[in-house]
């Protein structure tokens, strides 16, 4: 299977002002956040971006809980510095959220940027800061965004577009997929019955789906409806799903996310939880928590008892980084979570 390494960024984003940071926030998440609180961990003398958290801006009564959550994640990620940003037209809630998080920063986490903004003006918790804020310009044509798009990054208008990417198919697409599943269903079920052991079942599955997946991963070709049906039907086997799961790593996760997002938009019926949890894992390995959560939410909507999706959601929401997960080696997600909890308790 393809093992293409993730491309390293070709340029370094340099912020000369708070306005520059606010204008570049969409680059961090792949969409334009609204009514959001954002915490970004930084490290090193150049304040390189690391772990990033985005949550819906909480109501005033929930600000303290949200601030505790943000600082828990920053500590867990070993943040040396932090950017705390609230984006909202509700000035009172945005200020309360930022101040609550700022007050919780520990001495070893340096506040790099602490700001709340409404899309036109920003404010900071500084003495004699202008009462009416400081004007800044937020535009999809900002130089940093233009450079990111030119380098191949996709920046969506809002989180809703991201949700729609993983939404169930309907209409003509769903009708086409019903026909595509019919082409393979009986034969795949028969192969299931003819391969009673785990090893023989995985062997039968990979003989069929490896050429399809390898072409999609290597050549960036979009799967046909029948190929989507074939791959997703095989994913209903836990052993086959786990075989694909084991192939997703830090080097190839972007390719897998592209392919699995395509699958997610056309999968129907029983394969939905397995396909969506694989998409969620690929997004997690890329470092895209927003996409990971959206994919896993759909998997759990399809099957609330889906164990892998539930454990992955704990991993994402628990703030365990992909690098930490990989460091655990071949442990199960549950074992990795327990080891990380033990490490945190002993810190």
The pLDDT of residue 5? 38
Provide the strand spans (E) within the chain.
36-43, 48-56, 81-87, 110-117, 121-123, 134-135
Asked if 150 and 125 count as a contact pair (C-beta separation under 8 A), the reply is no
For residues 242 and 240, give the distance between their C-alpha atoms in angstroms, rounded to a whole number: 5
Tell me what the mean pLDDT of segment 281-289 comes to: 86
Question: Is the pLDDT confidence value at 208 over 70?
Answer: yes
d(CA 234, CA 274): 10
Assigned token pair, 160: 């809703």
Q: In what order do the strands lie in the sheet with 110-117?
A: 48-56, 36-43, 81-87, 110-117, 121-123, 134-135
pLDDT digits (tens, 9 = 90+) for 114-138: 999 998 899 999 888 998 999 887 6
pLDDT at 224 over 80: yes
Q: Which pLDDT does position 8 carry in this prediction?
A: 38
Q: By mean pLDDT, which of 76-85, 96-105, 241-250, 299-308 is the weakest?
A: 76-85
For helices 272-286 and 253-264, the axis angle rounded to 10 degrees is 150
What pLDDT score was predicted for residue 305? 92
Q: What percent of the chain has pLDDT over 70?
A: 82
Cross-strand pairs, 123: 116
Confidence of residue 235 (pLDDT cuts 50, 70, 90): very high
Confidence of residue 4 (pLDDT cuts 50, 70, 90): very low
Q: What's the mean pLDDT in 199-228? A: 92
The per-residue pLDDT for 127 is 87
pLDDT of residue 279: 95
Supply the pLDDT for residue 198. 84
Domain boundaries, the chain: 18-156, 166-346
Q: Identify the CATH number of the domain defined by range 18-156.
A: 3.40.140
Model confidence pLDDT, tens digit, residues 38-93: 898 888 877 777 777 888 899 999 999 999 988 988 887 788 999 899 999 999 99
Specify whether the CB–CB gap between 25 and 33 falls below 8 A: yes
pLDDT at 3: 34
216 versus 291: the higher-pLDDT residue is 216
- Measured CA to CA, the distance from residue 190 to residue 174 in angstroms comes to 24
What's the rounded mean pLDDT across residues 18-33?
76
Residue 138 CA, distance from chain mean position: 24
CA gap 31, 13 in Å, rounded: 17
Q: What is the pLDDT of the chain when averaged over all its residues?
A: 82
CA dihedral 252, 254, 258, 264 (to 10 degrees): 90
Chain centre distance of CA 287? 6
Give the pLDDT band of residue 155 (cuts 50, 70, 90): very low
Q: Is the pLDDT of residue 2 over 80?
A: no
Question: Residues 125, 126, 128, 131: what is their CA dihedral angle, to the nearest 10 degrees?
Answer: -30
**pLDDT, tens digit, 9 for 90 and up, residues 272-282:** 999 999 999 99
Say how far apart CA 280 and CA 48 lie, in whole Å. Answer: 25
Q: How many CB atoms lie within 10 A of CB 198?
A: 14
Q: Under a CB-based contact definition with an 8 Å cutoff, are residues 162 and 149 in contact?
A: no
pLDDT at 178: 95
Q: Residue 346: pLDDT band by 50, 70, 90 thresholds?
A: low
Q: Which pLDDT score, from 0 to 100, does residue 197 have?
A: 85
Q: What pLDDT, on a 0 to 100 scale, did the predictor assign at position 214?
A: 94
CA distance 247 to 113: 38
| Residues paired with 41 in a beta bridge | 82
């Amino acid at each position: 299977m393809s093992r293409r390494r993730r491309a390293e960024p070709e340029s370094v984003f340099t912020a000369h002002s708070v306005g520059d940071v606010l204008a570049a926030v969409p680059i961090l998440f792949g969409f334009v956040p609204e009514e959001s609180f954002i915490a970004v961990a930084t490290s090193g003398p150049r304040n390189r971006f690391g772990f990033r958290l985005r949550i819906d801006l909480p109501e005033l009564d929930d600000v303290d809980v949200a601030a505790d959550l943000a600082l828990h994640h920053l500590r867990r990620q070993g943040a040396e510095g932090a950017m705390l940003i609230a984006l909202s037209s509700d000035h009172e809630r945005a200020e309360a959220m930022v101040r609550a998080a700022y007050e919780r920063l520990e001495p070893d986490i340096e506040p790099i940027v602490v700001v709340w903004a409404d899309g036109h003006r920003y404010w900071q918790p500084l003495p004699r800061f202008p009462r009416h804020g400081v004007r800044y310009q937020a535009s999809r044509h900002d130089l940093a965004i233009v450079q990111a798009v030119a380098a191949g990054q996709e920046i969506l208008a809002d989180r809703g577009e991201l949700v729609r990417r993983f939404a169930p198919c309907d209409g003509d697409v769903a009708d086409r997929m019903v026909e595509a599943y019919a082409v393979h269903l009986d034969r795949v079920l028969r192969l299931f019955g003819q391969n009673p052991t785990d090893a023989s079942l995985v062997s039968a599955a990979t003989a069929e789906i490896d050429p399809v997946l390898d072409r999609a991963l290597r050549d960036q070709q979009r799967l046909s409806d029948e190929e989507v049906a074939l791959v997703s039907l095989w994913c209903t086997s836990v052993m086959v799903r786990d075989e694909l799961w084991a192939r997703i790593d830090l080097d190839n996760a972007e390719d897998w996310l592209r392919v699995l997002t395509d699958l997610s938009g056309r999968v129907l019926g029983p394969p939905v939880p397995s396909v969506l949890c694989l998409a969620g894992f690929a997004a997690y390995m890329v470092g895209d928590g927003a996409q990971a959560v959206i994919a896993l939410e759909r998997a759990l909507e399809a099957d609330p008892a889906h164990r892998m999706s539930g454990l992955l959601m704990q991993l994402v929401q628990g703030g365990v980084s992909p690098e930490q997960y990989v460091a655990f080696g071949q442990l199960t997600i549950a074992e990795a979570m327990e080891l990380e909890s033990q490490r945190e308790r002993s810190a």
